[in-house]
Structure 1
Amino acid sequence: MVTPNNDEFQGEQPIPRAGARPVLATLLLASMLTTMAGAIIAPSLPAMEKHFASVDNAAFLVRMVLTIPALMIAVGAPVVGTLVDRVGRKPVLACSVGLFGIAGGSGLLLDDLYAILAGRLLLGVAVAGIMTATTTLVTDYYPGESRSRILGLQAGFMGFGGVAFLSLGGVLADLDWRGPFAIYLVALPLTVLVLRYITEPPAVAAPGGADGRPAGARMPSLAFGIYALVLASQVMFYTIPSQLPFYLEDIGGIGASGAGLAIALMSLANALVGLNFGRINKRFGVRPVAVATFTLLALGFATIGASSHVALVLVGLVLVGAGIGMLIPNLNTWLASRTPAAIRGRVLSGVTSCLFLGQFLSPVLSQPVSGSLGIDGIYLAAAGIGIAVAVVLLLSRAGRQESAGAAQEAPAPQAAAARR
């Protein structure tokens, strides 16, 4: 696994306008929308299934209403990333936020299950655009230490958004199964803020090559290693929302509301760590933080899987939340610092794609083995993955340092011979 230092890409210039508070507030609010992609309507699923009971395969199709946006985000993110680089950050963000409000809120009016699924597909496209465009704009606007700080704020706001929106979705679902769809409409006034305050960064493209890319702009070699880290982390992480409610019921008789509060506690830890990511990154750097991230994930999953007490499960959830709070801002900081601005949209779109592909694959991979391993076994297996990744990151660093040291020492005998 190839990993870089924390140097900035050469030639990058800060965008002075980015310091304006309305710009930052708009980017953070847009980022919060992405936490509503799927889970916000989860409390509505039982009532939705009853409403569409006459539709063939209703049970399956209703569950697809929850999961289909994640698959669409994974598929659509690379296309959106190319548009972000070629058409511009602002147009993609404005269109995506507007589409988010229309497609997400369509469930308020539609009374056809297939039409609702179509709206969820468009919602996935919108989320891919929002995540890619907002993260690309942050990395364009804020170089150096300020980038790490703002990416941490972005993760923190997304965490707090998850707590707030998921709680509100449950309340509205108790009133009517369509209620949570109304929350998506908050994106419509936010579209006005994007048009008003977001400015397109200055053109950075050099003369184009045959493939349409700026000459000399190449994907950094570590990108695929970063993508693998994101994919592995999300396969691990999404065992929490997909398996934890059943696990808590087995070991402590905890119901749905208690499971929701437990997951909210993890989201709170995620948000608090994310808000402090800038300080963490400034002190330790990207690679040590990546090692610490997967170590925390391993400890958290091991605590959950080895415990038969709810209190210890909560401790494990806090550890997992702390690791997730550092994960994406750190990997985005790492990747953006080595990527030319001219292709940053398409490179960072790979993070978005792997993020949601991992979320989609997690239950697909974990559910078939839950019968043989048990849910506790799934969490212990996730802990094993976390430890393995942390060890690979450590060995990769040691190998690079050893190679660098050997390269520095090798010319010494030749120099001595020359002097003789």
Structure 2
Amino acid sequence: MLKLITLLIASTMTVMAGATISPALPQMQEFFNNEPNSEFWVKLLLTLPGLFTGLGAPFAGAIIDRFGRKPLLMAAIFLYGIAGGTGCVLSSLTGLLIGRAFLGLAVAAIMTTCVTLIADYYQGPQRNQIMGTQAAFMGYGGVAFLLLGGFLAGLSWRGPFFIYLSAFIILPLVIFSITEPEKTAGHTSNLAEDSDTELPIKTLVPIYLLTFLTMVVFYMIPVQIPFYLRNFQVSSAQVGMAIAASTLASATMSLFYKTIKARLSFQMILVCLYPLIGLGYISVSFANSYAFAVLGLIVAGLGLGLMLPNMNVWLNAIAPVAARGRLLGGLTTSMFLGQFFSPIIIQPIAQQIKLGPTFALVGGVMLALAATIAAVSFVNRPARTA
């Protein structure tokens, strides 16, 4: 039990990496106001870890497949605390960006290792449940970190950076509770989906692409919402509460993943979750009050709560044990590159048509994507085995 709790706690560190400083973005922009193009660079502080997580994840996957899980996890958590805490003392945008880059590399190793260890330790329906629990735990952790980050941002823009120092509390848990799983050459997972005889590449590509796209959309919440909510004259704490409300809805929905997966295929879960995101974002775009905007974020959060466990379980269903770390590293890459590219893709659109219409446009894309997946699944229904 301590082993599972440790993995769940360590998993929350991946959420903490980015969104924790989100409520402090407006204050950081004011602090660095004299820097050229400060709004872009400050937003990049939030998402830069995603780039280096995406670049580092394949290497992390290869390392754990070759040398084992625990050593890399311990080193990554130590690096996480050092790199994440740079914002406590540095007053240079360049220095902060470098610290965030190393933070991203640490997250790559933590995320890939935690998911791989869960896949190693648990099989079949129990794995489905644990994956959902992991996503929920990350979500609930995110709520706590966002609320705390919002409170600390009200004191100083440096405040949220102190949260990263909690890595030094988590490290002893990893050292004493995590054991290196035994390698069993003939082991296969017991999921029903393992009967699929198609080459994994045919499923891997859609999984990776959809994960990337969804993360681009998802990260509009921590990156753009703090600026969008300025229209309603709210405090940093209220910004944190709004983002936390969406995260709370996401975490709660994740707890129901095992039940939903028992009734629906992976594709049909996507058909259900994308309309929730789409309708939520459209509601945000038409919000005429802070409360209505929060309601839209909650609806979107319900859809996002199914995404991560669905992609993790789907990938584990097709991943050979010997390549599990590398394939999950690829999923981590897709996830965090999507986070990094979110402001790069969304910001030019928002500058042209403003943030409100941008949320409506993205919401419409999510509805169209759901319809497309439903149509493709219907056409390929006789061949579907998931």
TM-score when scaled to structure 2?
0.87
Q: 1:82 Cα shift?
A: 1.3
- Match 1:263 to one of 235, 240, 243: 243
Structure 1 residues 107 and 229: alpha-carbon distance in aligned structure 2, compared to 1, 3 A threshold: same
Q: 1:125 Cα shift?
A: 0.3
State whether residues 76 and 125 of structure 1, in contact with CA within 8 Å, keep that contact through their aligned partners in structure 2.
yes
- Match 2:150 to one of 170, 176, 196: 170
Count residues in correspondence. 374
State whether residues 49 and 340 of structure 2, in contact with CA within 8 Å, keep that contact through their aligned partners in structure 1.
no
Q: Specify the SS of the correspondent of 1:202.
A: coil
1:392: which partner in 2?
Answer: 372
State whether residues 281 and 362 of structure 2, in contact with CA within 8 Å, keep that contact through their aligned partners in structure 1.
yes
Structure 1 residues 381 and 49: alpha-carbon distance in aligned structure 2, compared to 1, 3 A threshold: closer
Structure 1 residues 383 and 329: alpha-carbon distance in aligned structure 2, compared to 1, 3 A threshold: same
Distance 1:193 1:397 in 2: 44
For 2:125, give the aligned amino acid.
Answer: E
State whether residues 150 and 239 of structure 2, in contact with CA within 8 Å, keep that contact through their aligned partners in structure 1.
no
Distance 1:86 1:70 in 2: 24
1:36: which partner in 2?
Answer: 16
- Match 2:284 to one of 274, 294, 304: 304
In structure 1, stretches of 5+ residues that fail to align are 1-20, 207-217, 406-420
What pairs with 1:264-303 in structure 2 (closer than 5 Å)?
A: 264-303=244-283
Structure 1 residues 331 and 54: alpha-carbon distance in aligned structure 2, compared to 1, 3 A threshold: closer
1:76: which partner in 2?
Answer: 56
Q: 1:134 Cα shift?
A: 0.5
What pairs with 1:194-273 in structure 2 (closer than 5 Å)?
A: 194-204=174-184, 219-250=200-231, 252-273=232-253
For 1:233, give the aligned amino acid.
Answer: T
For 2:268, give the aligned amino acid.
Answer: P
Q: Specify the SS of the correspondent of 1:337.
A: helix
What pairs with 1:15-414 in structure 2 (closer than 5 Å)?
A: 21-45=1-25, 62-110=42-90, 113-204=93-184, 219-250=200-231, 252-402=232-382
1:211: which partner in 2?
Answer: none
For 2:254, give the aligned amino acid.
Answer: G
Q: Specify the SS of the correspondent of 1:346.
A: helix
2:194: which partner in 1?
Answer: none
Can you list the C-alpha shifts for 1:215-265, whole angstroms capped at 9, x where unaligned? xxx754211100111111112222223333443443x44454433322211
Distance 1:173 1:243 in 2: 17
Q: 1:381 Cα shift?
A: 1.8
Distance 1:265 1:404 in 2: 36
State whether residues 150 and 238 of structure 2, in contact with CA within 8 Å, keep that contact through their aligned partners in structure 1.
no
RMSD: 2.7
TM-score when scaled to structure 1?
0.81
Can you list the C-alpha shifts for 1:44-95, whole angstroms capped at 9, x where unaligned? 5566567677878777655543332121112111111211211212222121
For 1:315, give the aligned amino acid.
Answer: L
Can you list the C-alpha shifts for 1:258-282, whole angstroms capped at 9, x where unaligned? 3332221111101111122222222
1:209: which partner in 2?
Answer: none
State whether residues 220 and 338 of structure 1, in contact with CA within 8 Å, keep that contact through their aligned partners in structure 2.
no
Q: Specify the SS of the correspondent of 1:37.
A: helix
Distance 1:249 1:146 in 2: 44
State whether residues 119 and 127 of structure 2, in contact with CA within 8 Å, keep that contact through their aligned partners in structure 1.
yes
Q: Specify the SS of the correspondent of 2:119.
A: helix
Q: 1:26 Cα shift?
A: 0.4
State whether residues 73 and 110 of structure 2, in contact with CA within 8 Å, keep that contact through their aligned partners in structure 1.
yes
Larger Rg: 1
Residue identity over aligned pairs, in percent, reads 42
State whether residues 46 and 223 of structure 2, in contact with CA within 8 Å, keep that contact through their aligned partners in structure 1.
no
Distance 1:93 1:113 in 2: 28
Distance 2:21 2:204 in 1: 33
Q: 1:372 Cα shift?
A: 3.7
For 2:166, give the aligned amino acid.
Answer: V
State whether residues 219 and 347 of structure 1, in contact with CA within 8 Å, keep that contact through their aligned partners in structure 2.
no
Structure 1 residues 85 and 157: alpha-carbon distance in aligned structure 2, compared to 1, 3 A threshold: same
